[in-house]
Structure 1
Amino acid sequence: MRETNEDASAYAGRRATAESIERGGGGLSVSDLLARVVPAAVPAHSATAADGAPDTDPSPDVDVLAAVIAAAAGRHLPEGHLAPDADFFDAGGSSVNAVELVAELEEELGIEVDLDEVFADARPSSLARRWAGIPGIRAVAPTVSTAGHSTAGTTTALPVPSPRTPPLPVPRPAEPVHAPHTTARREDLDQILADLALADRLPFIAAPEPLPPRRILLTGATGFLGSHMLLDLLRHSDAHVYCLVRAADEEAARTRLGEALRSYRLPWSTEVRRRITVLPGDIRHPHLGLSEERWNELAHELDGIVGVAAAVDFLRGYQSLRASNVLGTLALAELAAAGRPKPLHHISSIAVFNEVGITSMGEDDPLAHADRLIAGYDQTKWAAEVALRRARDHGLIVTALRPGGIGGHTRTGAYNPQDLSSGLVSAFGRFRTVPAFRYLNVAPVDWVSRVAVGVICEPDAWGFDYNLTGVPNTLDDVVQDMALGGMHVRVKDWDDWRTDALARLEAEPIPELTFLSRVLQSPSALKLCEATLKGPAATGERTAHLVEALGLPPATRYDARAQLKTFERLAGDGLARLPHKDDQPYLWFTETTEGQVGPVAAAADTPCSMALTLSIASMHQLVTERRIDVRGQLTCPAVHPGPLTVERGDVWIRPDEGIPEHHGLTHQLLRYRLLLRDPDGGSWWLEGRKHARARRDLWRQTRALTVEIGREGEPALLAGELVVPADSYVRDQIDGIQVDPRLTGREQRAAKLTWLAWFGLQMGRGLLGPFTRAAADLLDLRRTPHPTEHNR
C-alpha cells in the first residue's frame, strides 16, 4: 500500500512538473528541464546492486519529456502552445515548422528526432515515447458516443523500437525490439482496425427520402475542390448550403470562406452569401465542434451531407492524419444517422488503390490491402472508405466519390499549389524531364466538381462508388502535349528523375516547390509516388453512364489546351517556366519579299527587299498571342547602303481579331513590327501590313505587304509595297518548314501539320471576312430609310 501511495505521489509530482513546463517552463532552465526528464546515468564502473547490475533508474520520465517537447513545439505554432497529446500539424504547424522544431530539439535540448517520425505521429507524447524507447506503446481506439464524443477505449499493447542512441544517457530495455518502421507499421494497422470498429457502433437507420436535397451540410468549402463544389451546388440546385468552416466564430468563418473563394477566382457575391449559412466548427472535434443545440438542429433539418474536408499531406503518417480524415468522416456518418436519415456523400480518393503492383482500379474493384499501403494519407482514405462501407450495413446511404489528381480549372486557371499533380507538372515544365510512368489519372477541378454535384443532386445516383478521374494521360500524351507547347522533355527512369530533380531544387531553390522536394525525400511519400506513377489507368464506367444520363460534359483528356490557363498561372506564380523567344525555336521558316519604296506621298522607285526567318517558340505562343518572332535583314539603299539587321521583330496574325478598317472594306491579315539596326549603329523601325479585301486577287493579298520605314522616335520617311515572290512562297513557307530536331520524326510531322492547319484557318477566316461583310450589306433587307433620311 505504501508503494502504491509513493507511485501516486511520484506521478503527481511528474504531472505537476509537466504542467509547469507546458505553461512556459516555470522558470526552469534547459538543463533543469533535462535533469527532470531522465536521471543522471551511473558510470559503468560505479556502485552496483547486489546482483551486479548497475543501479540505475530503468526508465526516463516520459510525461515530463513530452511536456518539454510540447513546450518547444508551441513556439512554432500560431497559438504559441501545444498540449502533449495534441498533433503538431493539426494545431497549425507546417512542414517548415516541423523542420525547425527538429533542429531546435537537437541543438537546444539534445533530443534527436527524425523528421519522418514527426510526420508519422506529431504528438509530443508519442515522440517522447519513441525517443525514450519505452515498450508498450498502445494503439488507442476511442469510443464514439451517440452524441459523437470520443473517449478512451480499449488498448492493444505493442512493442516499441529502440531508436538510435540519443545524446542523453537513457537506459534501454533489455528485451529485443523491432525496427522502428516495423513497429510503427504495426501500430498504424492496429489503430486502423480499432478505427474501423467505430462504424459498427452507429445505429441502424431507415433509408432517406429519395428527393433532391434542399438543405446540405458541406465541409471543406475553403479548400480547392470544396470551394468549386459550393458554387456548383448553388448554380445547379435550389439548395441552401451550410458550410462548416474552421474558425473561432461566425464572422471569422465568413471572412475565411470569402477569402478562399476569391483566391480561386470564384465569386463571393451577395447572392452567394444569401444562400449559405456559415458554421464555425472543426471536423476533428466531437460533434464537429458544434454546440449540442446546433448539432440536433442539423440532425433534423438537413437533407444531405457532403464531406470534402480532409488533411491532404503526403508526408504525415496515419496517426497524424486520422483525426481529420477518419474520425472526422465518422462524425459526419454519425450526424447522417442522427435525427432524420440523410445520405452521406464522401469525397474519397483513388489513393485507396495505392498498392504497388495493383492491376486494376475500377469503381467496383477490390481496394488495396491495408498492410501494403505505406503513406499515411493513403491509409486514412482507405480506412475512411472501408469504415463507411460498414456504415452501409447499418442502412446509411453512402456515396463514395473518388477523384485522382485534381488539375486546374480549364477556364480560370485556378489550381491547388499543394497538389502533388501540380508540383509534378511544374517540375516537368521547369526541368524539361519526365519520369517514365504508365498513366496520370488527372481531371480538371471544374469537371470533377460538376460531376460530383450531379451525383449529389440525383437520388437515383446515391449509394454507389464513382471514379472521378476523367481520361488518363499516358506518357506519350504528356510528352506530345509538352512538345506542342514548345517544352521538349526527356524521359528518365524514376530514380534518375528523382535524383536529378532533387539536385536541381537544391542548386536553385524554388520556394513554391519546397513541398515537392520534401515529398521526393520521404520514404513513405516515395512509395505513394511509385504506386501513382506505375499504377494502372483508373476506369469509371458507372461515372460515364451517369454523366451521359444527366447530360453533363463528358470526360476528356486533361491535355495541353485544357491546362493552358493553369500553366500560365503556374508560370506567373513561379512554379513553371513558359517557353521564351530566346529558347530553341519550336518551328521556323524563311520569307523573302521584294518591292520598291520611296518618300512618303511620293513615287516608290527604290528597290527594297527583306530576307526574314519567322519562328515560334511554342504553339502556346500562337494560341495566346497569335504572334510570330522575326529575325533577318532588310536591304534598302534608300535607308542605308549596307543591309540592316532585325534586332527584334514580331508578326501578329489577324491583329485585333481582324476588326475591319476603312469603313469595313479592309481587314488586317498580318501586321509586322521590326526594330532595325544599320551598319553605323543607327536605329530604324518598319511597320508592315497585309490586308484582305473583297476582291478576287486573294493569292496576291496573302503575299503583298505595305510598309512604312522611319528612324527610331521619328515619323515615317519611306513607304511602299513588298511582295513575296509567287515561286518562293510554297517552297519557303510550306515545304521549307523546319522543326526542332530534338523531336522525333512523327512529332515533327505533327508539328508541321498543326501549324499549317492553324495558320490556314486564320488566313481563311481573315480572307472570308470582307466577303461576308459585303454580302451582309447587300442582303440586309431590314435597312429602311429613317424619316429624317427620307425628308432630305
Structure 2
Amino acid sequence: ETGPERPAAVTTLPLPDLADDPHGTARREDLDQILADLALADRLPFLRSPEPLPPRRILLTGATGFLGSHMLLDLLRHSDAHVYCLVRGADEEAATARLAAQLRTYRLPWNAEVRRRVTVLPGDIRRPRLGLSDELWHTLAHELDSVVGVAAAVDFLRGYQSLRASNVLGTLTLAELAATGRPKPLHHISSIAVFNEVGISSMGEDDPFAHVDRLVAGYDQSKWAAEAALRRARDHGLIVSALRPGGIGGHTKTGAYNPQDLSSGLISAFGRFRTVPAFRYLNAAPVDWVSRVAVAVVCEPDAWGFDYNLTGVPNTLDDVVRDMAFGGMHVRVEDWDEWRTDTLARLEAEPVPELAFLARVLQSPTALKLCEATLKGPAASAERTDALVEALGLTPAARYDAQAQLKTFEKLAGDGLARLPRKEDQPYLWFAETTQGLVRRTGDTTQTPCSMALTLSIASMYQLVKERRVDVSGEITCPAVHAEPLTVVHGDLWVRPEEGIPQQHGLKHQLLRYRLRLRDAGGQLWWLEGHKYARARRDLWRQTRALTIELGREGEPATFTGEVVVPADSYVRDQIDGIKVAPHLTGQEKRAAKLTWLAWFGLEMGRGLAGPFARAAADLLDLRRTPNPTERHR
C-alpha cells in the first residue's frame, strides 16, 4: 500500500547543485523523474525462484531490431523453444509482415520452419500490459518460461522524458509480466552506457555504475534507470540477467549491419575520410557473437541472474589504425575537436544521406558528451562472460579486427557509406620483376629473345585477402612481335588461382597466373597469358621464377609461345630488398607492410610448392590407386 507514495518521497533526497548549468532546470526534472521511476520497481510482488529448466516458451521483444532479429534466429537454432515476438502493428498480419521484412533486411531467413516456431503478437512495449488484451496477458503470464527484453529506443539526440516509455517503463512492464503467474527469469539487454560518465575508471561486470547526475545523454540515463530499477526487482526475488553490449558491429559472415548504429557510422567515416579521432578503446563486438552469447545465457539456467558485459575484446587506437592500413586505408589521427570539425565540414561539402544521422550526432552538445565518454572511457572487462563462454564451449571473444569487419565494410561501401581502396589509388606496396627468355612463333621452331620489365603492386592487403590479385604494369620487349616495346595497358596477377578447387589428380599445380593487355607502338592491341607451375621435382627455386607464356593479337589465338625466367641474381634484389612502400607511412608502418606481404606471399608459395609433392607421396603409398579385380576380392 505504500508503493504509490514512494515516488514522491524519494524526490526529497538531496540533488546536485545545478544553478550554474543553463539546462539545470531540465536536468533536475529528469533526475526527479528517474528517482520516481526507480521506485516503481518496489510495486512488484515478492516471488519464489523459477524452475531451473531450459525455456520452452519465450517472449522476445525487439525482434525487428538488429540485435533482436539475430537473437530470434539463434534462439530457434540453439533451443527447442517456441518464441512469441512482440511486434508493433495494426494486427497480426501487419506485425508479421513487418517482422519478415526486417529479417530479410538483415539477411536472415523467414521461411516455413521459422514461421512454425514463431508466434507474432501485435503490441507495443510502451503501452500498459504491452498493449495486449487482459486474456492474452494472463495466458502468457501462466505459460511463458522466460522473458527476453531487447526492444529499446536507441536515439542519442532525445532526452530522458522522451525515451523513458520505451526504455524504462517498458522494461518494468516486462518485469511485471515475469513476476505474474509462474515465476520467470527476465533477460534484459542493457548497455555499457550505464558507465558513460567522463572519467570513470573501470567498467567491470560488477563495478558501480556511473553517477546518474553526471550522465548527460537521455539514452545513457534511460539505460541506467532501467538496469537500476531491475536491481531493485531482484530484491523481490525476480531473477534478472543484465546483458550489456557495447558497440554492436556487423555480422562477420553476412556483413549485415545496423545503418543507424553509431559504431557503423564512425567506421564508415573513418574509411571514407581517412581520419580517426584519438581514443583509448572501442568496446565493440560483432552482432553474431553478441547474439550467440546472449542466447546462451537465456538457455542455460546456471547462467541466469548475473550481469554480463558482451563487449568482446576492446580495440585500441593502434589496432584501428593498423586495421585500416591493412585494408589500404591509411588514416590520420586527429584530436576529437579537430576530427569532429573536419568530419562535419566534409559531410556538408559532400553530403552522404546514409550518414546524416552521424552529422546530427556530431552537432548535438548532448550527444557529444556521450561520444566523449565513449572515446575516453576504459576498456570494458568481462571475466564472467569469458568464463561462461569457455564453460559452454562457445567461440571465445576475439578482437573485431579487419578480417572480422571485412564483409561489413564491403556492404557499407556497396551501400554508399564507406569507400574501399580503388585501383587508381596510390599503391600501398610495389616492386620490380624482370624476366628474360625465348619465344617461338606457332608452327616454327626458331626461337627469338623476349623480356619483361614489370612493376607488381597492391592497393591494399585487403586486395590480397579478397581477390588474391596483384596489379601489373610495365613493358614487354619482344622483337619478333614489334621493334618497339609493348606497353601494359591493364595487367593482373593471381596468386594460387586454383585455391579452393579440389586437386584430386595431377602433379602440376598453378602457382601464379598473369593476364596482360598490351599495346604496341603502332596502337595494335595484344594479349599475354602467363603461368608459373609447381611440380613434384627438385628444381623448386626455378619453379618460383619460370613463367610459361602465350602471346597473341587481341581477339585472335596465340601467335607466340615460350618461357621467360626471373634471373636468379635479380630475384632477391628486386622482389625482397627492392620492395617499396607508400611514402606517407611511418617507418614502423613500412616495415610492417613489407613483413606482412612477405609472410603472406611466402606462405602461399610454400603451400603451392608442397601440393604436388603431397600428391606424389599419396601415389607412392598407393592411397588413391584403384584396386585391380584380384585385389578387390581379397
Q: TM-score, normalised by structure 1?
A: 0.76
**What is the alpha-carbon distance in structure 2 between the residues aligned to residue 236 and residue 614 of structure 1?**
48
Matches within 5 A, 1:468-617: 468-603=310-445, 605-617=447-459
* From 96, 101, 125, the counterpart of 1:254: 96
Aligned to 1:700: 542
Checking the alignment, whether the CA contact within 8 Å between 2:505 and 2:615 is kept in structure 1 is no
C-alpha displacement at 1:780, in angstroms?
3.5
Aligned to 1:208: 50
2:487 paired residue among 641, 645, 670 = 645
- Aligned partner of 2:15 in structure 1 is none
State percent identity of aligned pairs: 81
How far apart are residue 260 of structure 1 and its match? 1.5
Q: Which of 1 and 2 has greater Rg?
A: 1
User: Structure 1: how far apart are the matches of 2:314 and 2:106?
Assistant: 25
Give the Å deviation of 1:533.
Answer: 0.3
Q: How far 1:786 moved relative to its partner? A: 6.8
Aligned to 2:606: 764
Equivalent AA in structure 2 for residue 293 of structure 1: E
**Contact persistence 2:157–2:217 (CA under 8 A):** yes
Summarize deviations over 1:289-322 as a string: whole Å, max 9, x none.
1111110011001111110000111111111111
Q: How far is the alpha carbon of 1:602 from its aligned partner?
A: 2.4
Match of 1:287 in 2: 129
SS at match of 2:23: helix
Residue aligned with 2:499, SS: helix
Alignment of 1:773 onto 2:596? no
Q: Which amino acid aligns with 1:494?
A: W
CA contact (8 A) 1:337 1:396 kept: yes
Which structure exhibits the higher relative contact order, with contacts defined as CA atoms closer than 8 Å and separated by 6 or more residues?
A: 2
Distance 2:512 2:288 in 1: 36
Contact 1:604 1:720 in 2 (8 A): no
User: SS at 1:520's partner residue?
Assistant: helix
Say whether the 8 Å CA contact 1:660–1:666 is kept in structure 2.
no
C-alpha distance in 1 between matches for 2:531 and 2:100: 48
- Return the offset for 1:267: 1.9
| 1:630-658 CA-partner distances (Å, limit 9, x unpaired) | 11111111121111211211000111327
AA partner of residue 486 (structure 1): G
| Alpha-carbon distance in 2 for matches of 1:660, 1:388 | 56
Cα deviation digits, residues 582-619 of structure 1 (max 9, x gap): 11111111100001112123225211111111011111
SS of residue matched to 2:528: strand
Picking from 429, 439, 446, the partner of 2:271 is: 429
| Equivalent residue for 1:442, pick from 277, 284, 309 | 284
* Counterpart residue number, 2:26: 184
Change (3 A) 1:295 1:661: closer
Q: Distance in 2 between matches of 1:575 and 1:784?
A: 56
- Structure 1 residues 221, 677: closer, same or farther in 2, change over 3 A? same
- Following superposition, the deviation at residue 569 of structure 1 comes to 0.8
Q: Residue 709 of structure 1 corresponds to which residue in structure 2?
A: 551
Q: What aligned pairs does 1:8-47 form with structure 2 within 5 A after superposition?
A: none
> What is the rounded CA distance, in whole Å, between the counterparts of 2:630 and 2:417 in structure 1?
62
Q: Aligned equivalents of 2:43 and 2:517: distance in 1?
A: 77
- What amino acid is aligned across from residue 409 of structure 1 in structure 2? H
Which one-letter code corresponds to 2:303 in the other structure? A
How many angstroms apart in 2 are the aligned matches of 1:266 and 1:364? Answer: 34
Deviations for 1:515-544, whole angstroms, at most 9, x for unmatched residues? 000000011010100000011111111111
Separation (CA, whole Å) in 2 of partners of 1:433 and 1:228: 31
Q: Does the aligned pair in 1 maintain the 2:216–2:366 contact within 8 Å?
A: yes
Query: Could you tell me how far apart the structure 2 residues matched to 1:718 and 1:783 are?
Result: 38
1:683 and 2:525 are equivalent in the alignment:
yes
Select which of 712, 721, 724 maps to 2:563.
721
Q: Which amino acid aligns with 1:357?
A: G
**In the alignment, residue 600 of structure 1 is paired with which amino acid?**
T
Query: Bigger shift: 468-477 or 272-281?
Result: 272-281
> Matched residues in 1 for 2:503 and 2:454: separation?
27
Q: Which residue of 2 aligns with 1:273?
A: 115
Whether the 8 Å CA contact 1:282–1:289 is kept in 2: the answer is: yes
Deviation at 1:779, TM superposition (A): 2.7
Deviation, 1:785, is: 4.8
Equivalent-residue separation in structure 1 for 2:510 and 2:114 (angstroms): 44
- Shift of the 279–780 alpha-carbon distance from structure 1 to 2, 3 Å rule, reads farther
The CA deviation at 1:661 is 8.8
> What is the alpha-carbon root mean square deviation over aligned residues?
2.3
8 Å Cα contact 1:400-1:466 kept in structure 2? yes
- Any idea what SS the aligned residue of 1:427 has? helix
AA matched with 2:60? L
- Which residue of structure 1 aligns with residue 247 of structure 2? 405
Contact residue 246 and residue 283 of structure 2 kept, 8 A: yes
Deviations 1:26-78 (A, max 9, x none): xxxxxxxxxxxxxxxxxxxxxxxxxxxxxxxxxxxxxxxxxxxxxxxxxxxxx
Q: Is the 8 A contact 2:11 2:36 kept in 1?
A: no
Amino acid at match of 1:343: P
Query: What aligned pairs does 1:722-741 form with structure 2 within 5 A after superposition?
Result: 722-741=564-583
Q: Give the C-alpha shift of residue 420 in structure 1.
A: 0.3
- Alpha-carbon distance in 2 for matches of 1:789, 1:638: 57
Give the structure 2 partner of residue 671 of structure 1.
513
Aligned-pair CA distance for 1:778: 3.3
Please tell me whether the aligned partners of residues 658 and 669 of structure 1 are also in contact (alpha carbons under 8 angstroms): no
SS in structure 1 of the partner of residue 187 of structure 2: strand
Q: Please report how far the alpha carbon of residue 226 of structure 1 lies from its aligned counterpart in structure 2 after TM superposition.
A: 0.7
Structure 2 counterpart SS, 1:410: coil
1:706-748 CA deviation, whole Å, 9 max, x = no partner? Answer: 1111122222211111110011111111111111222222222
- Cα separation, 2, equivalents of 1:728 and 1:448: 51
**Equivalence for 1:82:** none
Partner of 2:39: 197
Whole-angstrom distance in 2 between the partners of 1:240 and 1:329: 22
CA contact (8 A) 2:185 2:239 kept: yes
1:244-298 per-residue CA deviation (whole Å, 9 max, x = no partner) reads 1111111222222122122111222222111121111110111101111110011
Contact kept, 8 Å, 2:10 with 2:35, in 1: the verdict is no
Could you tell me how far apart the structure 2 residues matched to 1:740 and 1:214 are?
58
Deviation at 1:783, TM superposition (A): 4.2
**Which residue identity is paired with 2:465?**
V
Selected match of 2:476 from 634, 638, 648: 634
- What residue in structure 1 maps to residue 202 of structure 2? 360
1:57 is aligned to: none
Deviation at 1:774, TM superposition (A): 2.4
Q: How far apart, in 1, do the equivalents of 2:502 and 2:166 lie?
A: 59
1:737-752 residue pairs with structure 2 within 5 A? 737-752=579-594
CA distance in 1, matches of 2:11, 2:578: 75
2:178 corresponds to which residue?
A: 336
CA contact (8 A) 2:44 2:233 kept: yes
Distance 1:280 1:661, change over 3 A: closer
1:625 equivalent in alignment to 2:467:
yes
Structure 1 residue runs of 4 or more that deviate by more than 4 Å after TM superposition:
152-157, 177-180, 658-663, 781-790
CA change 1:390–1:779 in 2 (3 A) is: same
CA distance in 1, matches of 2:356, 2:77: 37
Q: 1:755 to 1:143 in 2, by over 3 A?
A: farther
Per mean C-alpha deviation after superposition, the further-off stretch among 566-575 and 705-714 is: 705-714
- Within 1, Cα distance between the matches of 2:598 and 2:82? 51
Task: Report deviation, 1:215.
Answer: 1.0
1-side partners of 2:475 and 2:446: how far apart? 20
Secondary structure of residue in 2 paired with 1:630: strand
Per-residue CA deviations over 1:190-222 (Å, capped at 9, x if unaligned) read 111111111111111111111111111111111
User: Matches of 1:537 and 1:178 in 2, distance apart?
Assistant: 32
Corresponding residue SS for 1:646: strand
Would the alpha carbon gap of residues 264 and 788 (structure 1) be closer, same or farther in structure 2, given more than 3 Å must change?
A: farther
